[in-house]
A and B are shown apart, each in its own frame.
Chain A
Amino acid sequence: MFIWVSAGLWYFVACAIAAAGQKPSSPHARVEMLARQDAIVAGADLRLGVHFILEPGWHIYWINPGDSGQPPVLKWQLPAGFSAGEIEWPHPERMQATPQLADYGYHDAVLLPVTVHVPPSVAAGSSVQIGADAKWLVCREVCIPEHAQLHLTLPIATAAKENPQSARLFAKTEKLLPRPMPRGWKASAKSEKDQFVLLLQAGKPITKAEFFPLEPNQIDNPAPLKLLPSATGVKIMLKKSDLLVKPIQMLRGVLVLPGGAAYRIEAPVQ
């Protein structure tokens, strides 16, 4: 139900020509398109994903890559009437090689899920090919742009089952996707001179957390987070970015708690 694609070919050809005598590097990511189900059903959403398996030590980037880098881009080739949603980004990890620079991304492997809307008019019995042109930047000490043309063919049926080969990976990934804040939580932020103070009221103390800003240029990425836990939540001090020149209305980000629960934070800024 899926195929492997090796990637980044044009770049390596270009490199090989530019640096005559040097062996072309091998790609640093294997990339595949996966479906959670084994078939397409008319009018039902289809859960697809692009799965990156990275060479040890290499990483790709989150939607906000931080101080350097670039997130993967997918361009879908879909049959008439189909449409693809946005990438749902699992929460990232912080990647900080030096005290001055911090990036947000993924090591080892990551699945980037997307929901594809299937029109009610498709007829059972045939099959459909879905394509995507994927571009990504993969980095270790150095960065390499790679790309691949991905394909997946699925039958159209009246009912679909989970694909046993991919369903576990999708289920694992869903847990990494940021959810709305739990009911009863409140987020607000105060703009002070050089920092934002993010106040989270959770009805319980939060003693450890990570915060990943969704917008670039708001937070100084490498600055260590300062947490001030209280009985009912936490205050998180976030140093402002040098690149922040206008006041902001909303501080958006992803909060990750020990154990991996991730929440979308939208804090109005006073």
Chain B
Amino acid sequence: MKTLRHSMVRAIFLLALMASAFAVKVGDPAPGFTGVDSNGKQQSLSAYKGKFVVLEWHNQGCPYTKKHYESGNMQRLQKEWTAKGVVWLTVISSAPGTQGFVTPTQENEYLQKMNAMPTAVIMDPGGSLGHLYAAKTTPHMFVIDPSGTLIYNGAIDDHSTSDQSDIVNSKNYVSTALQEAMSGKPVTEAATRPYGCSVKYKD
């Protein structure tokens, strides 16, 4: 049963990969996916149609991820936006044996310790979801609108450093995109260079 589900998930990923031809462009439909979260629950993008969805690529050992978690910046964003009905999916694509790879239990402990409040954390040790979105760095952020269109792809903010002290002077691209989209405006900066550590893919 488990292998069957596994191969189904794989098949869905493969189909999505073929359909998207490895391109995730702002303005295009966000590629659909199904993954398993740190509580063993299935998470599908299609289940969140009608809502804004944020994808956050994560590696708890990366200095750039630490910048936003040890300062509490990421948790503030998660709390603020999920309170406004946004679905926040953290994704971990670190392969086993690489920096940032964690078991579901370790991830749940981390979430509790850090007071992190994503809607769910998708465990992607095989890297399929990461490759589907061409996630390059941790953090790398995506915003999908209620119609399923990708409206933001890029950095979390405009200070590509690992210094916590830069956060106060930064323009947060994710918040700006959500604010603009929620008030019916086009997203002014819809694609930026994501910054951080490379995603530690298996291949």
Contact = CB atoms under 8 A, between A and B. Distances in A.
B33 interface: no
A171 interface: no
| Chain A, interface residues (CB within 8 Å), range | 20 to 34
Nearest to B64: A143
Contact of A142 (B23, B24, B61, B154): B61
Ranked 7 nearest A-B pairs via Cβ: A68-B198, A216-B193, A243-B191, A67-B136, A145-B162, A245-B191, A143-B197
Given A142-B99, A217-B191, A67 B137 contact: yes
Given A137-B162, A142-B99, A97 B198 contact: yes
A242 interface: yes
B63 to A, nearest CB: 5
6 contacts: A67-B136, A67-B137, A141-B98, A145-B162, A216-B193, A217-B193
Interface of B: 23-27, 61-64, 98-99, 131, 134, 136-137, 153-154, 160-163, 190-193, 195-201, 203
A98 B201 contact: yes
B99 A244 contact: no
Interface in A12-59: none
Interface string A247-265: 0000000000000000000
A217 B190 CA distance: 12
A174 to B, nearest CB: 29
Interface string A127-160: 0000000010101011111000000000000000
B20 to A, nearest CB: 10
B151 to A, nearest CB: 11
Interface of A: 11, 67-70, 97-101, 103, 135, 137, 139, 141-145, 216-217, 242-245
Contacts of A143: 62-64, 197
Residue from the set A142, A144, A145 with the largest chain B CB neighbour count within 10 Å: A142
A197 to B, nearest CB: 19
A70 B195 contact: yes
B193 A243 contact: yes
Contact of A98 (B25, B99, B203): B203
Interface of B is mostly: loop
Contacts of B161: 70, 135, 145
A70 B160 CA distance: 7
Contacts of A68: 136-137, 195-198
Contact of B191 (A11, A67, A135, A244): A244
B158 to A, nearest CB: 13
Contacts of A141: 98-99, 200
A105 to B, nearest CB: 12
B192 A217 contact: yes
Given A100-B134, A137-B162, A245 B198 contact: no
Nearest to B61: A142
A139 B197 contact: yes
Residue from the set B136, B192, B200, B201 with the largest chain A CB neighbour count within 10 Å: B136
B63 A144 contact: yes
A92 to B, nearest CB: 16
A139 B64 CA distance: 13
A67 B134 CA distance: 11
Contacts of A101: 136, 198-199, 201
Contact of B63 (A145, A217, A243): A145
A241 to B, nearest CB: 8
A55 B200 CA distance: 21
A60 to B, nearest CB: 14
Nearest to A70: B160
Contact of B153 (A11, A98, A142, A242): A242
Contacts of A245: 25-27, 190-191
B31 to A, nearest CB: 12
